[in-house]
Amino acid sequence: MGADRLKLYFHTLTHIKPIQLYYQVYYKLAARFIKFNPNKSFNTSRGINFEGGIEFSDSLVGPNSFRFLNLEKRFETINWNINEYGKLWTYNLNYFDFLQQENISKEQGLTLINDFCEFKDNHLDAYEPYPISLRGINWVKFLSKHKIDDFRINQQLYSDYLRLIENLEYHLLGNHFLENGFGLLFGAYYFQDERLYKKAKEILTTQLEEQILADGAHYELAPMYHCIILHRILDCYNLVKNNDWHGAELAPLLYEKATLMLGWLEEMLFEGGGLPMVNDSTFDIAPTPHNLFGYAQRLNVGIRSVRLKESGYRKLKSGNLEILFDVGQIAPSYQPGHSHADSLQIVVYSDGIPLIVDTGISTYEKNERRQLERSTLSHNTVTVNEQNSSQVWSGFRVAKRAKVSLLEDEVDKISASHNGYKSAGIICIRKVEVLDGLIRITDIVQGSRNSDLIQGHLHLHPNVQFQLKNNIFLLNNKIEIQFPEKTHLEIIEFNYSQGFNDLVPSKKLIYTFKEEIIFSLKHL
């Protein structure tokens, strides 16, 4: 292993928790030396009471035909271990989210569950803790809704929960570990199992306090995962509220975190309901904000008023112009797998229409596309010599990372710096301020040399019409972005992600400068 590779691992590992390293080693040894017994006895299931919820979009699109991540597959015989479309597609197949779609019948769902049970000795990805967590919730809901009490299915489900409780994702933590807790809670109520409940309670009480920030954001700072976790919290609140077991003792905690998360989500939305797809976020994966607000209302869960703060996001507005400004850190430090090298990025909407956007994500495979989508070049911020401000690598890892320092934090003026290029002696500063009828942005690069290539990047939504004349960049004949005279401006093409495996061409503007540049946005 070369010196550069060793440094990469060193700067990555210095941030992880000891418990993560311990369980990385423990699970590798356990897989070799500990034999799993799937046939332990369980309490007879009474099912659960569950008052509706959010239906999933159709992923079962025909007999043995599935569509996940915008890729469709029809099986003659279902291969639960399929690897044709990558691990995430296989995971989705094994989540059984299709049990929650509107048009699935009892007979269809039961056929698929029985098919899964038939191949119980051959499953691979299906028996990993994350898909077990999600599949368990979907099975419990479906079986309870249709009052199905089948010994073989319950044996499979209970053995899955035993696998889960012995393989909790301590090595990852983050949203995966929280999903383990949600899954165990549903299993505990379904089987009225004290061991499952004790562990679920332990995970949820500790992790919800850590993972939900004071301003209501999920600490991985990706709106897609925020919506996924919020949905799960609402489901768990639904569960404990409507089932008379353990006195609904978790209800106050779940209610509190749900109200906070709803408040943050409300603050992050642009006029018209647009949600910025920053960090690892994309469309058609999580429930929509509209559906989440509606579900919360049906459960009588309120929305707490919050101010964007701990998450590192800030919103500024001038008339119909809205800007989201990212002054946050790579987070959480010990699990930054869904973070991008996007320090000091902006996203711009006007009249509810996306103008300047994050380029989005289209894959979780460890390939060049994944690396590009996490790179600084793919975000609306400044690059130095086309290098990343934080060292993203291997799909879900970050080695050296930029530290952001907030310099000014006022209603109409936010400024911050980051040291992502400190090895070159460079500090980047961005100020965003609302003035009379416009928003002014100042980019400063301190410590740069004449030979350094300093560039700012503005990525346009594919539907935006634009004109570039001299130093004026006109968007949709309504928004004018004015640069200093003689600024070198260049328009190039990039691929915008509308979802996993769904890329469309769009344009980006690159502005090149030396030490400082000031440009403004205004609504005509």
Q: Could you report the per-residue pLDDT of 165-210, keeping only the tens digit for each?
A: 999 999 999 999 999 999 999 999 999 999 999 999 999 999 999 9
pTM: 0.97
Shortest CA distance to 134 belongs to which of 71, 90, 75, 77? 90
- Checking if the pLDDT of 399 tops 70, the result is yes
Q: What residues contact 296, with CB distance under 8 A and at least 6 apart? A: 234, 258, 262, 302, 303
What's the rounded mean pLDDT across residues 388-393? 97
Shortest CA distance to 277 belongs to which of 334, 330, 349? 349
CB 394 within 8 A of CB 384: no
Torsion of CA 294, 298, 301, 303, to 10 degrees: 30
CB 323 within 8 A of CB 244: no
Residue 465's Cβ-count burial label (10 Å; 0-12, 13-18, 19+) is exposed
pLDDT band at residue 1, thresholds of 50, 70 and 90? Answer: low
pLDDT tens readout for residues 465-518:
999 999 999 999 999 999 999 999 999 999 999 999 999 999 999 999 999 999
pLDDT at 394: 94
pLDDT tens readout for residues 11-20:
898 999 999 9
Residues 334, 335, 339: CA angle, nearest 5 degrees: 120
Interatomic CA distance for residues 134 and 140, integer angstroms? 10
- Checking if the pLDDT of 32 tops 90, the result is no
pLDDT band at residue 96, thresholds of 50, 70 and 90? Answer: very high
pLDDT band at residue 42, thresholds of 50, 70 and 90? Answer: confident
Neighbour count for residue 154 (Cβ, 10 Å)? 19
What's the rounded mean pLDDT across residues 7-11? 88
Phi, psi of 521 (to 5 degrees): -120, 135
Return the amino acid letter for 354.
P
Residues 199, 200, 203: CA angle, nearest 5 degrees: 85
Interatomic CA distance for residues 319 and 349, integer angstroms? 11
CB 106 within 8 A of CB 153: no
CB 491 within 8 A of CB 468: yes
What's the rounded mean pLDDT across residues 35-40? 72
Residue 182's Cβ-count burial label (10 Å; 0-12, 13-18, 19+) is buried
What's the rounded mean pLDDT across residues 49-57? 93
Percent of the chain surpassing pLDDT 90 = 92
pLDDT band at residue 116, thresholds of 50, 70 and 90? Answer: very high
pLDDT band at residue 45, thresholds of 50, 70 and 90? Answer: confident
Residues 137, 68, 496: CA angle, nearest 5 degrees: 125
Interatomic CA distance for residues 431 and 154, integer angstroms? 58
Interatomic CA distance for residues 125 and 99, integer angstroms? 19
Return the amino acid letter for 263.
G
Percent of the chain surpassing pLDDT 70 = 100
Q: How far is CA 14 from CA 187, 398, 401, in A?
A: 36, 11, 12
Domains of the chain: residue spans and CATH = 1-32 (no CATH), 313-523 (2.70.98.70)
Tokens of 435: 């003035």
In the beta sheet, which residues pair with residue 495?
505
